[in-house]
Structure 1
Amino acid sequence: MNNSDRIWSAMQHSNIDTVAYLPCNKLNVLMANKPDDMDIWDITKESAGLGLCFGRSLAGKRSAMAIQNTGLGNLITELYTLQKLYEVALPIFVSWRGHYKEPIEAQIIFGEKVETLLDAIDVEYKIIATADDLVGLNEDVAACFTENKVKVYLLSPEIWEENKPDYHVFGQPAIQAVQTDVPGYSGSPTVTRYGAIGQIMAAVDDNDIVLSQIGFPSKEVYNTKDRPTNFYMLGALGAATEVGIGLAKSIEERHVYVIDGDGSFFFNPNQLVDLAWYKPSNLTIICLDNGSWGSTGNQPAPSSQGYNLSAIVKSLGIDSVAMSDQESELHAAMKDKVSFVHYMINAGNDKVGGEIPLKALEIKQRFMQAVE
């Protein structure tokens, strides 16, 4: 058994069946030895991988990530407002660039500070530089799940017995022709987000799952119709749809509705790319578009200047799209399980009801018990 096999074996020992992966050539040896029964989810951004893994965890699935160490700086917010806030385990295997025989100056600058960064954000780590460092890895990874913690495994390039420049077939452009004809919108919405959420929750079946974006959306869903099968996001703007994708792909027997907003997608358009890439058939994204950054004071957002999210979604290859400001059409789209519902609303936040009284861990535990 070589060093790569030992790492994969440690993951399998803890019943990890999926790894979210962002390519690094220093991980090629590891990926070349991937077990046949290990699923790899290719990601476009490190923080997107955290959302996908978090969604899987809500369905009781275990995941790991494999990324480059420079990507650690791209996931701090999501790491704190998803995995650490809700106490969700996640082993992260990191290629340690800038540490061992590194020829690239830019990698060295960051690589020398990785340990300092991890100490500063209170994330445990283990350096793996020789075969001796792999002794006890099974138990070490298992502890992530028994203790519900995140741990980073810094993989020094010296750990690999050989260099594999490539483990996969080369990518090449293979771009589909796209023709879209998407109407604009210049109507007059009849409800605010709170009213729209009331319309949505009235049409949700008892067996359906509802996941809501941070801030006022989650607060208003709670005050409209609290249910154990609601999951309230308390942090990480731009992650709700990623979490919904990971959850829907892991609990295919139930339909998942994500209540999101226009600002979320302008903040993190990677969510739309991943929605088009993974396309869970049991997932409906309801984008409540008020042309505003609603939770921060209703400042104008890009959709107030003509940017058409429905057109962006359709250009990415998602044909199942509905745009409306009418309750009857919203309900029809939900009944038809449309992938992306673009619902126009007025700006404004609900002043009725208090904050969600549940702690993050209570939200997670209640939800997981309800869907198991």
Structure 2
Amino acid sequence: MNNSEMIWHALSQNQVDKIAFNPCNKLNLVMKYVPKEMEVWDITKESAGLALCFGRSLGGKRSAMFIQNTGIGNLITELYTMQKLYQEGLPIFASFRGYFQEPIEAQIIYGSNMETLLTAIDVEYRILERTEDLVDLEKDVANCFAEKKVKVYLLSPELWEEKVDDYHVFGQPRFTPVRVSTEAYEGNPSQTRAEAIKVIMDNVSAEDVVMSQIGFPSKEVYNANDRAENFYMLGALGSATEVGIGLADTIQGRHVYIVDGDGSFFFNPNQLVDLAALKPKNLTVICLDNGSYGSTGNQPTLSSSGMNLSSWVQTMGVESSVITDQPGTFSELIKEQPTFIHYLIKAGNEKSGEEIPLKAVQIKQRFMSAII
């Protein structure tokens, strides 16, 4: 085996069957040798890949990431509030830019501080420079999963025996026709988020999975109907839908509902890109749109100044999307399970009810025991 094949062998032997990949020309050679049985998710953002992998881990599957080391700065918050908080293992293979014969000044200033950064954020790392460094990689990756930790493997350009310029084939713009038609809205929604969440929890079946966004949405789902099949996000704003996509990929016999909000999608529109690109059939995203950042004091979001999330999702290619402010219609839509439900609600948080008493690992363990 060459060096690239040794990396893939180490992952395959550890039951990794899917990776999240963000392009870097220093990863061309390793990606040339992706095994046929290994599926690749082409991600648009490092934090999105982290969330997809986390969702898969909740379904009992193992993943890995391949990114450029400069992308590590783009996922620190999500790393702490998902993999570290809930204690799930993830090997991250990063091209080590700025380390060996690097011609780009911006890469050098970042790469020269890479080890200091990883140490500062308490993430274990290992530099892979030559074939001898790969001999025990299978065992090292196994330890990563066994100890439920994130570990970064910095891949030096020294590792490769040859230079390959291209990965797969060149891209070429190709689009399908998109026709968007959404009506203006200046009505008065009748329900608060807590009331809408009660409708959701009254209409999902016992087998359905519910995942809720951080802050008040999770608290209100907990108080409406706490059950083992609920997964409460306790951090990582703008990641719930990404995690749900990853989870839905692993439990295709069950339907997954995401209780999300307008603030989450304005904060991270990449979620809608991946929803359209990956097209999970067993996932319904419920966007409870109150025009406000509910968990931070109900400050207005862009939804309050004319941005229409329904038009966004249609433009991106989510064909099964519906918008309504009617409780009866909303109740029926939950049962019909379209991909995206845009439900317009009043601003305001439910002040009664208790905080979620469960720790993150307790939430995870209870949830995984119920769905796997």
Alignment match, 1:269: 269
Alignment match, 1:329: 329
How many residue pairs get aligned? The number is 372
CA deviation after TM superposition for structure 1 residue 122, in Å:
0.2
Structure 2 counterpart SS, 1:85: helix
Q: Distance in 1 between matches of 2:38 and 2:342?
A: 36
CA deviation after TM superposition for structure 1 residue 337, in Å:
1.0
When the two structures are superposed, what TM-score results if normalisation uses the length of structure 2? 0.99
Deviation per CA, 1:282-326, whole angstroms, max 9, x where unpaired? 100000000000000000110000100000000111111111111
Instruction: Name the aligned partner's letter for residue 196 of structure 2.
Output: A
Structure 1 counterpart SS, 2:19: strand
CA deviation after TM superposition for structure 1 residue 79, in Å:
0.2
Alignment match, 2:344: 344
Moved over 6 A (4+): none
Q: Distance in 2 between matches of 1:151 and 1:270?
A: 25
The aligned runs of 1:41-60 (5 Å cut-off) are: 41-60=41-60
Alignment match, 1:194: 194
Instruction: Name the aligned partner's letter for residue 350 of structure 2.
Output: D
Deviation per CA, 1:196-253, whole angstroms, max 9, x where unpaired? 1011100010000000000000001001100100000000000000000000111100
Alignment match, 2:32: 32
Instruction: Name the aligned partner's letter for residue 285 of structure 2.
Output: I
Confirm or deny that 1:308 pairs with 2:308: yes
CA deviation after TM superposition for structure 1 residue 177, in Å:
2.1
CA deviation after TM superposition for structure 1 residue 354, in Å:
1.6
Q: Distance in 1 between matches of 2:293 and 2:77?
A: 19
Confirm or deny that 1:66 pairs with 2:66: yes
Structure 2 counterpart SS, 1:263: helix
Deviation per CA, 1:136-172, whole angstroms, max 9, x where unpaired? 1110000011100000000000000000001211001
The aligned runs of 1:200-211 (5 Å cut-off) are: 200-211=200-211
Confirm or deny that 1:174 pairs with 2:183: no
Deviation per CA, 1:323-356, whole angstroms, max 9, x where unpaired? 1111111122112111000001100011111210
Alignment match, 1:287: 287
Q: Distance in 2 between matches of 1:357 and 1:75?
A: 27
Q: Distance in 2 between matches of 1:248 and 1:331?
A: 22
Alignment match, 2:147: 147
Alignment match, 1:162: 162
Q: Is the 8 A contact 2:191 2:327 kept in 1?
A: no
Q: Distance in 1 between matches of 2:303 and 2:281?
A: 27
Instruction: Name the aligned partner's letter for residue 66 of structure 1.
Output: F
Alignment match, 1:137: 137
Q: Distance in 2 between matches of 1:202 and 1:33?
A: 49
Alignment match, 1:84: 84
Q: Distance in 1 between matches of 2:321 and 2:34?
A: 37
Instruction: Name the aligned partner's letter for residue 287 of structure 1.
Output: C
Instruction: Name the aligned partner's letter for residue 161 of structure 2.
Output: E
Alignment match, 1:358: 358
CA deviation after TM superposition for structure 1 residue 187, in Å:
1.0
Instruction: Name the aligned partner's letter for residue 141 of structure 2.
Output: V
Deviation per CA, 1:179-208, whole angstroms, max 9, x where unpaired? 111112111111111011011100010000
Instruction: Name the aligned partner's letter for residue 250 of structure 1.
Output: T
Q: Distance in 1 between matches of 2:269 and 2:191?
A: 26
Q: Is the 8 A contact 2:210 2:258 kept in 1?
A: yes
Q: Distance in 2 between matches of 1:184 and 1:249?
A: 35
Alignment match, 1:237: 237
Deviation per CA, 1:72-112, whole angstroms, max 9, x where unpaired? 00000000000000000000000001110000001101000
Q: Distance in 2 between matches of 1:201 and 1:277?
A: 28
Structure 1 counterpart SS, 2:167: coil
Alignment match, 2:257: 257
Alignment match, 1:320: 320
Alignment match, 1:371: 371
Which stretch of structure 1 is more off in the superposition, 283-292 or 179-188? Answer: 179-188
Q: Distance in 1 between matches of 2:198 and 2:237?
A: 22
Q: Is the 8 A contact 2:57 2:63 kept in 1?
A: yes
Structure 2 counterpart SS, 1:20: strand
Confirm or deny that 1:3 pairs with 2:3: yes
Q: Which runs of 5+ in 1 are unaligned?
A: none
Q: Is the 8 A contact 2:204 2:335 kept in 1?
A: no
The CA RMSD over aligned residues, in Å, is 0.6
Q: Distance in 1 between matches of 2:338 and 2:56?
A: 22
Instruction: Name the aligned partner's letter for residue 305 of structure 1.
Output: S
